[in-house]
């Protein structure tokens, strides 16, 4: 019963069924937005007018469809598929390689009719055939008048390498789902932060207790006044607050420290700092729009009751702010360290900005990349043809035949060169 059970798990049909189930689950995880808030699912998948007639937010939450790739049933499918690959490797692929290494002599001329290519030679030199086989890098084994030759044995290893690479990819996926995390932090420049705003994490994740400081943040613009790139000057600090690594991070070039990635993802303006009447005032900015065209405004009061003043509007980080009166009349732009005469002269000291950093780690990524590397290697190995040639000499008659795993036409050309 144990052998039958293992044979069922190692069966190709069983593996295909599990792979189809994994594909269906992956499609579900692609169609349904992952790792969103409950309010998002309530809005997009209401209890009335259900999507597809049955899909509502309570079903999504109940069955974990909001985080498909981290559910126990999805990880179980991956685990079963990995066990199937391992079982198939040891029960089928490894024995087939061992068999291929053995000398498989054909002792009866009638057996040559089952080969893909075969012929009968009369009054032909056997030594010439063997010489040409040796020149073609065949390994030759002989028992009296019976000869067996093969080459390209490494091509038989390709299925084992494929299984090994897929097992690595599956293992990396499970490790990443169990031990990885993703967080999103909005940090004003010059501030130090710890990882706190966790968006999602695995069941066995340990959030690292690490301090990080944003030294500076700036934006470069092109000639069309559109954003060219975002930059964040980031430092990683030790327990004593000393800097142990410092990098300028920008889009698609994260800071990497101990497997933790700091990606530049967002930005924001949080305040304006003015100097007026020998005093420094700081006014908060409010973001008006949530789309790509960001605009911030603030109220700059001119009296203690805050009922009179000016409106400051800013939509970029190029170093200036636009000033309007309470009726919307444009009064002018004020640049950094520039003084603008309103009721009282005011100087713009600083535009206080913050950077949005996505902090994440996935310990399974190196394993997954290694798996894909071996998968590419197996593709190259699979192009190596495993060919076999059998020869029986009976008096002046020589029976010659051969088989190959692929490239039959090329093997036929090679075969006829032996007997030409």
Q: Which two tokens stand for residue 398?
A: 């020589």
Asked whether 377 and 161 are in contact (CB, 8 A), the reply is yes
Which residues have C-beta within 8 Å of that of residue 257, sequence separation ≥ 6? 210, 236, 245
- Note the pLDDT tens digit of each residue in 51-99: 777 888 888 988 888 888 888 899 999 999 999 999 988 888 888 888 7
Per-residue confidence (pLDDT) for residue 67, from 0 to 100: 87
CA distance 138 to 387: 9
Q: Locate the DSSP E strands across 327-367.
A: 330-335, 339-341, 345-361
Per-residue confidence (pLDDT) for residue 292, from 0 to 100: 61
Count of CB atoms situated within 10 Å of the CB of 378: 19
CA distance 403 to 138: 13
Which residues have C-beta within 8 Å of that of residue 383, sequence separation ≥ 6? 155
Per-residue confidence (pLDDT) for residue 102, from 0 to 100: 79
CA distance 122 to 107: 18
* pTM confidence score: 0.72
Domain boundaries, the chain: 2-96, 103-152+385-418, 178-268+356-362, 269-354
CA distance 301 to 274: 12
Per-residue confidence (pLDDT) for residue 129, from 0 to 100: 87
Nearest to 394 by CA among 105, 108, 104: 108
List own/partner pairs for 343-347 with CB under 8 A and 24 or more apart. 343/302, 344/276, 344/277, 344/302, 345/276, 346/274, 346/275, 346/276, 346/300, 347/274, 347/275, 347/276
- Note the pLDDT tens digit of each residue in 286-343: 887 655 678 899 988 877 777 788 898 998 888 888 988 888 888 888 888 888 777 7
Per-residue confidence (pLDDT) for residue 281, from 0 to 100: 86
CATH code for the domain defined by 103-152+385-418? 3.30.310
State which residues of the chain have pLDDT below 70. Answer: 289-292
Query: With left for phi above 0 and alpha for psi between -120 and 50, is residue 247 left, alpha or beta?
Result: beta
Q: Which two tokens stand for residue 321?
A: 């702010």
Per-residue confidence (pLDDT) for residue 290, from 0 to 100: 55
């Amino acid at each position: 019963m144990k052998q039958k059970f293992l044979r069922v798990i190692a069966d190709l049909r069983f593996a295909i069924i599990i792979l189809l189930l994994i594909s269906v689950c992956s499609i579900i995880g692609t169609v349904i937005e992952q790792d969103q808030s409950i309010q998002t699912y309530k809005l997009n998948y209401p209890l009335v007018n259900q999507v597809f007639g049955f899909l509502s937010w309570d079903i999504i939450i109940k069955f974990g469809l909001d985080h498909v790739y981290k559910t126990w049933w999805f990880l179980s499918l991956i685990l079963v598929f990995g066990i199937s690959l391992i079982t198939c490797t040891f029960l089928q692929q490894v024995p087939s390689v061992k068999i291929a290494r053995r000398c498989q002599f054909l002792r009866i001329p009638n057996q040559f009719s089952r080969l893909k290519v075969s012929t009968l030679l009369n009054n032909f030199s056997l030594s010439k055939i063997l010489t040409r086989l040796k020149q073609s890098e065949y390994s030759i084994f002989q028992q009296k008048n019976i000869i067996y030759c093969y080459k390209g044995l490494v091509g038989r290893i390709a299925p084992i390498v494929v299984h090994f690479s897929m097992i690595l990819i599956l293992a990396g996926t499970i490790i990443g789902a169990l031990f990885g995390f993703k967080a999103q932090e909005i940090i004003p420049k010059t501030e130090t932060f710890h990882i706190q705003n966790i968006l999602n994490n695995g069941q066995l994740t340990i959030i690292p207790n690490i301090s990080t400081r944003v030294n500076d943040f700036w934006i470069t613009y092109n000639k069309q006044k559109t954003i060219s790139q975002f930059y964040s000057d980031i430092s990683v600090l030790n327990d004593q607050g000393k800097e142990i690594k410092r990098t300028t991070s920008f889009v698609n070039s994260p800071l990497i420290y101990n497997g933790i990635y700091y990606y530049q993802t967002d930005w924001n303006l949080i305040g304006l700092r003015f100097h007026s009447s020998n005093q420094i005032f700081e006014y908060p900015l409010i973001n008006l729009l949530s789309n790509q065209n960001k605009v911030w405004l603030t109220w700059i009061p001119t009296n203690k009751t805050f009922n009179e003043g000016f409106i400051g509007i800013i939509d970029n980080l190029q170093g200036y702010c636009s000033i309007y009166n309470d009726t919307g009349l444009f009064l002018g732009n004020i640049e950094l360290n520039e003084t603008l005469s309103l009721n009282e002269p005011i100087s713009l000291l600083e535009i206080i900005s913050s950077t949005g950093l996505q902090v994440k780690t996935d310990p399974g990524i190196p394993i997954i990349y290694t798996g894909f590397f071996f998968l590419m290697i197996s593709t190259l190995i699979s192009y190596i043809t495993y060919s076999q040639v059998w020869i029986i000499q009976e008096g002046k008659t020589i029976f010659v035949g051969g088989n190959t795993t692929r490239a039959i036409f090329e093997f036929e050309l090679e075969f006829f060169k032996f007997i030409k």
